[in-house]
Structure 1
Amino acid sequence: MSRPAGRVLTLLELLQSGGTRTVAELADRLGVDGRTVRRYVDHLLDLDVPVESVRGRYGGYRLAPGYRLPPLMLSDDEALAVLLGLVAGRRAGLTTTGHTAGETASAKIRRVLPAHLAHRLGTLLDSLAFTERPGECAAPDSGVLLTLADAVRHRRPVSLRYTDREGRRTERTLHAYGIVAHSGRWYVTGTDPGIGEDRTLRLDRIADARALPGTFEEPAGPDPAQRVLSGFATAAYRHEVTLRIQGTVEQIRVHLPAAVARLTEHEPVADEDRADEGRADERWLRVDLRAERLDWLPPVLAALDRPFVIERPEELRHLVVALAGRLASHATAPAGDAPAS
């Protein structure tokens, strides 16, 4: 492809990104002068591409509204990135209720690719294996997702019809601060102005969302992702667990991430002062978490392999002691003995 032809296609790509582009901006992006930009625009007009000229101080060129864009022109790397992104999104559960949209989009892209590239990418996708099972989470409605995204951007209140995990249906207003994808699910986080408290809601449980008049100011504080993680760590569950663990934040977070536990500084008591010295940056940290079950925690504490104190509940102490007894019995069993059932 000749350089002028390539620049004309680059000009079209710039105009396809939307908005009005000034002659100076286009000239800078294309590496030519303003006169050459106007000549390239004439080439597009000759090809029946409806480029409009906008007059005024902030004038320039733009594509006519409603113009149906020609097929995408993707390089090998771009095509691979798009197709892998579609595959990864489907497997991670980050799709909408139009769950076939990703498959049809992938098929359309593969159909318009050059034969040699389509064959190579098809070979890669057919050869690709994953170590994790595909995500099976419920998907949100695409209309709800787009309405909430617009509300977040323009700081507009939204009215929602929501079904909680107990099956209760309510209609509520939300000042949405952000949309967060976490572990194969979509969440929206914000403030319920009716009660003045933060709320994190699953998008697949929202049946309808509509924008309301007015705007709101987002308060200072954690970003949306951190709000969602903090909400998980403090949600209501059957057991409330409080631990004191000696170590670094990094050591603890490997086994108890922010979505599971909340860490705070803790002033050690006398007995803790006599615990292992460890590294200079290790200190006693308070760990708070909530869980429906406790049986997964003793193996986590064993894997953490740091000094710890269980403040509550008493049931967790018994589970840790029982695990320690089983490990000790297995370690001291004579070689060749069959393990007890």
Structure 2
Amino acid sequence: MALREMVRGFAEKEIAPNIDRWEKDGLIPLDLHRKAADLGLLGLGFDESVGGSGGDSLDWYVMAEELVLSGRSSGLLMALFTHHVALVPVAAHGTPDQIAKFVRPTLAGEKLVALGVTEPGGGSDVANLRTTARRDGDTYVVNGAKTFISTGVRSDFVIAAVRTGEAGHKGISLLLIEKSSPGFEVTRHLDKLGWDCSDTAELSFDDVRVPAENLVGPENQGFRLIMELFESERLAQTVMAYTTAQRCLDLAVEWARARSTFGKPLIARQLVRHNLSDMARAVEVSREFAHRVMVRVNAGEALVPQVCMAKKQATDAAQFVADAALQLHGGSGYMRDTEVNRHYRDARVFSIAGGTDEILAEIVTKWMGY
């Protein structure tokens, strides 16, 4: 409860009054990272030995829920906490020098990180990525491109998946590549349907020399490290989805009580009340199932199919409730500068980010033996 109240106060003071402007700017200010770090929010879920604030994944989910509810944007959560997924391999498998140079400054809000996996022409097919890193003495020479990279515009360094060995998943490694490296370029700042305040980039590497000491974990073992990220990323997306649904429901109820037509408030009409009931059911089912899965995962259970199911359930709820809330708002909801319009646009990404609905369905069928 104390954590939720602290996050609510932070969101109401620092985020909610500014989110509309940041949406128009296409990014959030650097000092927001420092303010979040000062409260220990950036380091939540990371061990104190690497500069984190401690706590577990359940603490992070509580924080994420409140940031969306009080900060009024899932895109803000993505922009502020890219490191929640990207930094995990370095925190877990990095050398002391890597911890000191990259992990601690990021958790202190002094540096920004991006995760570079997706490439032009390939999304979820990680095993066949084409960006290469050829060993040359005490450096790797990197060539290739990445796209749809969250925080790629503002980041100080990228944890990039590169091919250091044979074809397929056995030849992939992770490299820490600093943006100041010659040959590293942000080629495009990408415009999106939603998540406007979360900057997204296309990156290119042209004979970029990276110190061999920037290799994260063993060479050619990067695919396993990437797979370890997916569960936490998908659960984070799940939280954003069902909480977006909750925020849209709250907005819809508020609007239905305030808006009158033909002499009566909208909520006085049976059809409207029944629609709100359906929306509330979608929120409750997705949230309760997700919470049950999160508790079990936090306790150490391996629940790959259940995590995929939880994300799909929450995604469906977010898209259904956001659409219904916008419909209830009528012409006002169709205006881009309304909050419900932002959630409607943002909700569309949940069926894509962290694994598309189709990919998740395939994972479930394999694990269930269908």
TM-score by length of 1: 0.22
Higher helix share: 2
Specify the structure having the higher radius of gyration (Cα). 1
Greater strand percent: which structure?
1
